[in-house]
Structure 1
Amino acid sequence: MITLLPTYQSKYMDKKRPLVTIITNTKNRARLISRCIESIQNQTYQNYEHIVADGGTDNTKKIVESYNDPHIIYISIPEGGPVAQTKEAFKLSKGEFITFLDDDDEYTPEKLEKQLDLIQSLSDDYGFIYGAMTYYDNNTKEQLNIHGAEIEGGSEILPIAISKPTICGTPTFMFRRKAFESIGGTWISGIGNDMSDWALGCRALKQGWKVAALKESYLRIYVNHQATRMSDADFYKDNSQRYIKFHNHFLSEYADIIAKNPKVGTFHYDNLVHFYVAADRTGDAFKTWYKLIKTRPNFRSLVSFPYYFFRQLMKK
């Protein structure tokens, strides 16, 4: 079911002030979403539409409607999870640029303006940008850490991008519309983590798009708010099988790159040893351990399998 609030009609469709679409996926987080909405309303750049894709059953719709904001489009997508929510939101969107904000986080006031300044300064083969994020404790408001953004380029940086989660951060992404459409217009389904910004960024690079980094942080990410984040392991059931599928996705999709540079697969082998053991797939764990030792012959690799194996035995 799709329920629309009055659609914002853009006053500026020229290149200098393009319409930006902001997509927020939410599910039963009515008590948190106001911070997200109000941070968008406080942007210095005001030519945007904010699509709230609701997969829950609480009073989120009532909260959103209470703002009576013509920038906001509310849609109810009760089935299909984040993949379906984002897909339907993108179908309805009209923005030349697509970005995101999680329902429990917030933009600083200049976020959209700074992103647009960067992406519009680049050639069209730069399909997307990402940026730094600052993490805060929701209760104390204490700054915890900053996830930086430094790596930039095209296909030449793909080995770095797939080796560990560096080009990531959903709310820091801003895609050109044609770039987001070319990679499916939503998250990658069926890979174990159906809302992986890391996997999405890597796929965009694989398809030939370049990425640039906004090195300053214009995002506030909140943790410890007594609600499970979609990026948390506890959001999902059967995490071992989920992560096995996820890391094998990278090993399969980028097999040609890993064959040329085996060390690129190290992070994935290391995690697979852990999750194979947790899933009682000892044979697969042992085979992956052998690959790990070959690609990273150090003490940590040598003790990886015995450590996870005996830790699993102690749990039984």
Structure 2
Amino acid sequence: MPLSQGLQILKSDSQLNYRLWDLGKVKKIVFKMNKLKILLMIALFAILGGSKSNAQTDFSIHLGFVSPQGSYSDSYAQQGIFALLSDTERAGAGFGVNFGTKFRYAISSAKGLGIIATADVLLNDVNKDVKEWVKDREKEVLERDYVEDISFTTSKYINIPIMIGLNYEYQFGNNGIKLFGEVEGGFNLGIITDLKATAKINDHIDDVGVSNEYYKYEPNTSFAFQIGAGIMFSDKYSLGIHYYNLGSQKIKGEIIEEEIFDGDIDTFKEKFSRATINPSMLTIKLGYHF
């Protein structure tokens, strides 16, 4: 079966286009990320260096869940990320988890005010609509007389924001309870994991083979900010709610299609550049302070 007339699992029969990432572009992204990291660290140390040496420090770790907002959570015709080839900004992200760290440096000359630096990992699966679309697509493809079996591995969204900003704490008497608010800016590294479809196909002559389609996405860097507020108990535990806006991420990369029959592999590659998504989310975090 010629590849140009192959299985084409992920798209509808009337709409075809596909995706990967190459090492050179990844190196450029990492280089850009490292430059931003260096600038943030220089700014942080400059600020800390200007503060008095007796300022108090606080280090914490936190864990929570993530609720995607706006177009980041919406689906287009239930397809979510699958429909990004149609230039939709609706990514179809579902609920996820968050873990990360925060460093706080209290400014002794300004009661309650501190400088913070944070690093987070925000993980989101695709939402229920997208998963239902995948099931429907599996059934549709299985109706083709040359398809014997099919399986999908859906993509995941990974966002890694690194930021610096200001935090203010207000203490109620001596009962160990504090309210806090904070605002930060920095950069985000956005990653979409590979999307894969694998089918067992029969050419109706004398051979059964495998058709693979891989969508591989380039990582993105973008400006990001977050605002948050919460409560602390006994200087050890905190509970906060935070809003993250992680900027605009261009969806681009390359598709790899391959068909394997009797040990022979036919491969087709095509680059793409499509929609821009705008990840934003609410998180609720439980923190432990050392």
Using structure 2 for the length normalisation, give the TM-score: 0.20
Which of the pair has more CA radius of gyration? 2
Using structure 1 for the length normalisation, give the TM-score: 0.18
Whose strand fraction is larger, Structure 1's or Structure 2's? 2
Whose helix fraction is larger, Structure 1's or Structure 2's? 1
